[in-house]
Amino acid sequence: MTHPLSTSLPRTLSFTALATALSLASMSAMADQWRGWNIHPPEYPNSIALESFAEEVTANTEGRVEPKVYHNAVLGDQPDAIEQTRNGALDFANFNMGPMGPIVPATNVLSLPFVFSSEDDMYRLMDGEIGQRFADALEEKGLVALSWFGSGARSLYNTKHAVETPEDVQGLKVRVMNNDLYVEMIDALGGNATPMAYSEVYQSLKTGVIDGAENNYPSYESSGHYEVAGYYSNTDHLVLPECLCVAKASWDELSSEDQEIVRQAAQNAAKEQRQLWAERSEASREKVLEAGSEINDVADKGAFQAAMQPIYDDFTAAHPDLAPLIDDIKAAQAE
């Protein structure tokens, strides 16, 4: 005779398995799957820091929030990604402040040439009350800035000669990002500014469509631009911060406990990114030197800064409400 327990046992196991599956499905449904935008390849300092952010948030929220980073701008270019994050279609992103100006006018201040005298000054100010002012402006447009990444100091490089003085820029066709302030900057030095997609720069340098561009060491190296433009001059004319931003819609759905976890993870990611960036910058500099690039430090940046004064005058005339912010940034670096 078959024992009663022998027939009920499979049924009991079946119910147990079903209950476990339903429980796991319920937990999965409760998890908030966050999609994150990133323009860089997976091995880039920013990308590594973003992956650390995602891992820390997932672990410390016990899976209530599960961020996933999509690298290489596979979810669209930055202007599209900004809009997607503002309307909640994307949950978080690493944005450069250069292209943010059309959406958040206050961030154009960060694109003024020589507004920061060094990366250290930029980090110090963006981590404090000055940075909070920009964060407030971003939040009004649907973006919650939780921490600030670095993108190095941008300098000029070209195919012709070293740049020591503003006169050395005269007549050079220089690629810039699509921002009127960058066009005005090159024009003020007597060059011919050429807004152009980053992907087109290498071939344009090679064929002589442009004579030069401006960027940081890692970009100069990783893009291969050093192969066709062998003169890199440390003008350090732009020191642009980047944000780790969360969609306000996604942020507001978090509990206060989870908001604190996400904020702390973002700040930890910024520390990691800055360290990795410094290491990558030095490695890139060494690589292009070994490849034969000629690198020079500009001895008198004052001449370049003086040439920028008309840009500041025009900017503050057009945006008088932002003049106190510029003054405060300058004053904080003179202390």
Contact between residue 107 and residue 178 where contact means Cβ atoms under 8 Å apart: no
Whether the pLDDT of residue 276 is over 80: the answer is yes
- Distance, in Å, from the CA atom of 334 to the CA atom of 115, rounded to the nearest integer, reads 12
Distance of CA 34 to the CA centre of its chain: 19
Q: For the residues 21-29, what does the mean pLDDT come to?
A: 43
Q: List CB contacts of 160: < 8 A, sequence separation 6 or more.
A: 172, 211, 212, 231
Distances in Å between the alpha carbon of 108 and those of 115, 117, 119, 230, 265? 11, 17, 18, 30, 27
For helices 256-290 and 45-60, the axis angle rounded to 10 degrees is: 160
Give the model's pLDDT for residue 182.
92
Contact between residue 73 and residue 99 where contact means Cβ atoms under 8 Å apart: no
Q: For the residues 178-198, what does the mean pLDDT come to?
A: 93
Distances in Å between the alpha carbon of 61 and those of 32, 144, 235, 244, 318? 10, 19, 44, 18, 45
Percent of the chain residues topping a pLDDT of 90: 84
Give the model's pLDDT for residue 30.
56
Contact between residue 225 and residue 157 where contact means Cβ atoms under 8 Å apart: yes
Q: For the residues 88-99, what does the mean pLDDT come to?
A: 94
Q: Which residues pair with 212 in a beta bridge?
A: 158, 174
Contact between residue 201 and residue 210 where contact means Cβ atoms under 8 Å apart: yes
Whether the pLDDT of residue 2 is over 90: the answer is no
Q: Which residues pair with 157 in a beta bridge?
A: 213, 232
Q: For the residues 193-203, what does the mean pLDDT come to?
A: 92
3-state SS of 237-284 is: EEEEEEEEEEEHHHHHCCCHHHHHHHHHHHHHHHHHHHHHHHHHHHHH
For residue 25, count other CB atoms closer than 10 A to its CB: 10
Tokens (6 digits) for 72:
């290489």
Tens of pLDDT, residues 57-80: 999 999 999 999 999 999 998 889
Contact between residue 154 and residue 214 where contact means Cβ atoms under 8 Å apart: yes
Whether the pLDDT of residue 99 is over 90: the answer is no
Tokens (6 digits) for 146:
């939780």
Average confidence score pLDDT of the chain: 91
Contact between residue 113 and residue 309 where contact means Cβ atoms under 8 Å apart: no
- Among candidate residues 44, 43, 69, 45, the one with its CA nearest the CA of residue 55: 69
Helix, coil or strand: residue 79: helix
Give the model's pLDDT for residue 164.
97
Query: 23: pLDDT confidence band, cut at 50, 70 and 90?
Result: very low
Contact between residue 54 and residue 37 where contact means Cβ atoms under 8 Å apart: no
Q: For the residues 299-317, what does the mean pLDDT come to?
A: 96
Tens of pLDDT, residues 208-265: 999 999 999 999 999 999 999 999 999 999 999 999 999 999 999 999 999 999 999 9
Provide the whole-model pTM. Answer: 0.86
Query: 5: pLDDT confidence band, cut at 50, 70 and 90?
Result: very low
Contact between residue 169 and residue 190 where contact means Cβ atoms under 8 Å apart: yes
Whether the pLDDT of residue 307 is over 90: the answer is yes
Rg of the chain on CA atoms, in Å: 24
Whether the pLDDT of residue 156 is over 50: the answer is yes
Phi, psi at residue 304, to the nearest 5°? Answer: -70, -40
Tens of pLDDT, residues 164-177: 999 999 999 999 98
Tokens (6 digits) for 245:
């931003």
Distance of CA 280 to the CA centre of its chain: 15
| Burial of residue 264, with CB atoms counted within 10 A of its CB: 0-12 exposed, 13-18 middle, 19 or more buried | middle
